[in-house]
A and B are shown apart, each in its own frame.
Chain A
Amino acid sequence: MGILDAINAFLTKSGIAGMTPLHAILISIGLLLIYLAIAKKVEPLLLIGIGTGMVLANIPFAHLTFPGNPKLGTPPGPLFVIYKMFIENELVPLLIFLGLGALTDFRPLIAQPYTFLLGAAAQLGVFVAMLGALFMGFNLNEAASIGIIGGADGPTTIYTAVQLAPYILGPVALAAYTYMALVPIIQPPIIRLLPKKHRAVKMKPPREVHPLEALLFPIVLLVIASLLVPRATPIIGMIALGNLFRESGVTEVVERLSKTAANELMNILTILLSVTVGATMSVDIINYYSTITGMTPAEFLIKFALIFIWGLLAFTISTFGGIILGEVMYFITRGKVNPIIGAAGVSAVPMSARVCQKEAQLVDPSNYIIMNAMGPNVAGVIGTAVAAGVYIEYVLTFYEVHLGVIPWRLH
Chain B
Amino acid sequence: MGCAWLDIYGLILAAMSILQPPRDEQISAGIVLAILAFTVTFLVLGILTISIKLMSIGVSRFIGKKKVQTPPSTEVETPVSVEVRTIHEVSPEEVAAAVAAIHRYLTEKTLAPTTPKPLTSPWVLAWRMDACINLNDYDYILKSSKMRRFKKYLI
Residues of A within 8 A of B (CB): 20-22, 109-110, 113-114, 116-117, 119-121, 123-124, 126-128, 130-131, 134-140, 143-144, 210, 212-213, 216-217, 220-221, 224-225, 228-229, 296-299, 301-303, 306, 379, 382-383, 386-387, 390-391, 394-395, 398, 402
Contact = CB atoms under 8 A, between A and B. Distances in A.
Contacts of B55: 213, 216-217, 220
A130 B30 contact: yes
Contact of B3 (A22, A217, A224, A402): A22
A135 B41 CA distance: 23
B5 A391 contact: no
Among B3, B34, B47, the one with the most A-chain Cβ atoms within 10 Å of its Cβ is B34
Contacts of B13: 298
Contacts of A225: 44, 48
B22 A382 contact: no
B56 A139 contact: no
B20 A217 contact: no
Given A139-B26, A394-B33, A296 B44 contact: no
A140 B14 contact: no
Contacts of A117: 42, 45-46, 49
Given A117-B42, A136-B19, A213-B56, A382 B48 contact: yes
B17 interface: yes
A324 to B, nearest CB: 13
A128 B14 CA distance: 24
A109 B55 CA distance: 13
Nearest to B63: A210
Contact of B41 (A113, A114, A306, A383): A383
Nearest to B26: A140
Identify the interface centre among B19, B50, B59: most chain A CB within 10 Å of its CB: B59
B123 to A, nearest CB: 43
Nearest to B25: A402
Contacts of B27: 134-135
B124 to A, nearest CB: 43
Give the interface size class of chain B.
Answer: 35 or more
A210 B60 contact: yes
The secondary-structure label for the interface of chain A is helix
A398 B29 contact: yes
Contacts of B37: 126-127, 387, 390-391, 394
B19 A137 contact: yes
Contact of B18 (A21, A306, A395): A306
Contacts of A124: 38
For the complex of A and B, the 10 pairs showing the least CB-CB separation, nearest first, are A298-B14, A120-B45, A134-B30, A113-B52, A127-B34, A299-B14, A20-B3, A390-B37, A116-B49, A116-B45
A127 B26 CA distance: 15
18 contacts: A22-B6, A110-B56, A117-B42, A119-B45, A120-B46, A137-B19, A137-B20, A212-B63, A220-B48, A221-B48, A296-B5, A298-B14, A299-B17, A301-B14, A382-B45, A386-B41, A390-B36, A395-B33
B102 interface: no
Interface string B6-20: 100011011101111
B60 A21 contact: no
B44 A229 contact: yes
Contacts of A394: 29, 32-33, 36-37
A113 B30 contact: no
A143 B37 CA distance: 14
Contacts of A213: 55-56, 59
Scoring B19, B40, B45, B53 by chain A CB atoms within 10 A of each residue's CB, the highest score goes to: B45
A303 B149 CA distance: 82
A394 B31 CA distance: 12
B25 to A, nearest CB: 7
A143 to B, nearest CB: 6
A104 B153 CA distance: 55
A20 B6 contact: yes
Contact of B30 (A143, A299, A306): A143
Contact of A144 (B21, B33, B45, B56): B33
B21 A116 contact: no
Contact of A138 (B18, B32, B41, B59): B18
B33 A212 contact: no
B11 A298 contact: yes
Nearest to A225: B44
